[in-house]
Amino acid sequence: MSQPAAHKALVIGDGGWGTTLAILLARRGIQTVLWSHSKAQSEEWRTRRENTRFLPGVKLPEALSFSADPYSAASGVDLVVSAVPTQFLRSVAERFEDALPGDAPLVSATKGLEIETLEPPSEILRSVLGVREVCILTGPSHAEEVARGLPATVVASSRDKALALRVQAAFNGETFRVYTHSDPVGAELAGALKNVIALAAGISDGLGLGDNAKSALVTRGMMEMARYGVSRGGRTETFFGLAGIGDLVTTCCSKHSRNRAVGEAIGRGETLQTVLSRMNMVAEGVWTTKALFGPEAETEGVSMPIAEQVHAVLFEEQVSAGSGARPDAPRALRGDEGALVVSPMIGFVAAVASTVGFLVAVVVTGVKGRITVHIPCVLATLLSLSAAIWFALELGTVYDLSTAGAITPIHKLIVKLATASYLLPIVTGIRTLRSSEHRRLHFACAMVALVLTASATVTGTLMLLWSTKLVP
């Protein structure tokens, strides 16, 4: 006879999802305690047998116990499920630091990133509760449906296969299917990032941009999620399974999605503060977006244009089309970023100008004895062509056309060197004027070189000095 998945389980967090997970465990015959931060709230759930605040209309099993005391709730448990919103998780976990049995494994059912540290929930739990096995329970699973017995499928992801199988056995039922999975990093990041894309999908709905635009946004958002997840150690295929595309579709389309609803309200012109003030539950995507571009941000070198614009709308007071701006308004870029967008064209123009200046110098001065005159033009031409090639590739990243590489510091250095090099052919023109013997012809040729290279110099310098550029 097989061993039970758990004798006694503790679910920390009595929100809609935490309550739903407690219901599933209790229905599976596992002695389950649901912990609440509020004693009064816990007592209300116990007496009314209903979570009237977060899961109204769903009857709670008689076998389900309730507690607001960490020590009594954790007594004798051999499976711990955490369903606390990410931004509150650290402080709640600290209350259980001495209460949990040392060998009790953790199941993390929270989706998000901590703003101050960029840590996912599993890392927060480990940093507070010590090193122990953690399994990520994630996938398309709105509490409002799962608690009412509607079918849903999720993954239990852990590097410890035995723990993943144990969590599968604890939760698997007729209407709640659990698959085991071995990429917890990717699964956890997918669950966090899909909420950011859901905000964008909601904004699209609020603006009335239609199904085609939303489909494109969700698809490209999926690529952003995968790029970022792989850069943090996740596997690409994870983002194209239940934990990634499965959860993303549900969150971007469901009437139950809090993140999509927040985005839709903002798309209609409401402020973030107004929307959040009337919400009863947490929209994790708002704070995940802030974390992605917060003090510990790690998006450098990863193309995430959709997430960047969600952050701009939420936290940088960028006006959305729903509040008066044109829906097709181009976005403003910072100086270096704007320079990177227009550099291909500027680089090619400057390369041609430098090349013409070089040829003029050869014609006017001759080859012999004029190597020092030619070197500036040669250097400028090579750097300009290099910049053009680099940034032509970068257009693929800016417009998200393919798998073009992300912008890196070396790219920025090249465009700065190329811009500086535009000054060098001017030296050629000046030296040509000074060394001319047939003054009239030489003067005309030198002026051509000066005008072309000076125009390239001015354009390239402005490219880097202007603080904003507009792109589609």
E-strand spans in 3-124? 8-12, 31-35, 50-51, 55-59, 65-67, 79-82, 106-108
194 is catalytic: yes
Catalytic residue among 194, 412, 416, 469: 194
Nearest CA-CA partner of 51 in 24, 16, 22, 85 = 16
Task: Please tell me the distance from the alpha carbon of residue 419 to that of residue 380, in angstroms, as a whole number.
Answer: 9
Task: Please tell me the distance from the alpha carbon of residue 27 to that of residue 23, in angstroms, as a whole number.
Answer: 6
- CB environment 411-421: b (16+ within 10 A), e (fewer): bbebbbebbeb
Token pair 């993390």 in the structure block, residue: 108
E-strand spans in 60-207? 65-67, 79-82, 106-108, 134-138, 152-157, 176-181
Q: Give the SS3 label for residue 344.
A: helix
- For residue 471, the surrounding DSSP H or E stretch is strand 469-471
Task: Please tell me the distance from the alpha carbon of residue 177 to that of residue 26, in angstroms, as a whole number.
Answer: 16
Cβ atoms of 250 and 142 closer than 8 Å:
yes
Active site positions, annotated:
194
